[in-house]
């Protein structure tokens, strides 16, 4: 099979996207570490729990919603639990499952971290784009996700705020 090399225009687009993929996670971590002593992934876990009923989720659902393996999530949850930001306990309806619940300290941490995080996301990404570009970014991201996650098995994270039909 012959290689389909990228055109100059395609290469330009790809390298810009690759740069965003490298720079944005580091920038998100830096802001959250500086302002809230959290990584971006820590924040995602706490934020998802903050929006769940009773601020509680099954670990499997939390893993799907953060696009993490259970092993990675368990490691992070253990660290957050040691800081008193969440707690784990057996699921009352299925003893084989484990739930994670945001503690009062965790709820306070999310409330303290959210304004700075949202401000950074707005400044670094959202406000750099026009409303039309926001729509295009959603469409472009979805087209790529359709290839990377064809069965939408990881849609729990990226469709969290989609409008309900």
In a domain, 100, yes or no: yes
Rounded to the nearest angstrom, the gap between the alpha carbon of residue 68 and the centroid of all alpha carbons in its chain is 9
Q: How does pLDDT run across 20-79, given as a tens digit for each residue?
A: 999 999 999 999 999 999 999 999 999 999 999 999 999 999 998 888 888 999 999 999
The structural domain count of the chain equals 2
User: What CATH code is carried by the domain that includes residue 67?
Assistant: 1.10.10.10
Q: Name the one residue in this structure whose structure tokens are 């295009």.
A: 136
Q: Are residues 163 and 105 in the same domain?
A: no
Confidence of residue 127 (pLDDT cuts 50, 70, 90): very high
For residue 117, what pLDDT is reported?
98
Between vectors from CA 154 to CA 125 and to CA 103, what angle results, nearest 5°?
A: 75
In a domain, 49, yes or no: yes
Tokens matching residue 91: 């699921």
pTM score, whole prediction: 0.90
In a domain, 80, yes or no: yes
In a domain, 12, yes or no: no
Q: Are residues 36 and 99 in the same domain?
A: yes
Q: Are residues 105 and 65 in the same domain?
A: yes
Q: Count of CB atoms within 10 A of residue 161's CB?
A: 6
Range of the domain at 137: 129-165
Determine the Cα–Cα distance for residues 100 and 86; give it in Å rounded to an integer: 7
The packing angle between helices 40-51 and 104-124, to 10°, is 120
**Whether 37 contacts 46, CB under 8 Å:** no
């Amino acid at each position: 099979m012959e290689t389909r090399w990228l055109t100059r225009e395609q290469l330009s687009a790809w390298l810009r996207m690759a740069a965003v993929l490298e720079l944005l996670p580091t920038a998100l971590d830096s802001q959250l570490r500086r302002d809230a002593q959290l990584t971006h992934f820590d924040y995602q876990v706490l934020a998802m729990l903050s929006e769940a009923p009773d601020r509680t989720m099954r670990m499997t659902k939390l893993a799907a919603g953060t696009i993490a393996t259970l092993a990675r999530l368990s490691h992070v949850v253990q660290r957050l639990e040691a800081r008193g930001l969440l707690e784990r306990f057996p699921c009352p309806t299925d003893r084989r499952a484990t739930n994670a619940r945001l503690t009062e300290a965790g709820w306070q941490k999310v409330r303290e971290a959210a304004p700075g995080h949202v401000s950074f996301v707005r400044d670094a990404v959202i406000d750099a784009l026009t409303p039309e570009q926001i729509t295009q970014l959603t469409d472009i991201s979805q087209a790529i996700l359709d290839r990377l996650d064809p069965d939408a098995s990881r849609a729990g994270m990226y469709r969290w705020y989609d409008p309900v039909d």
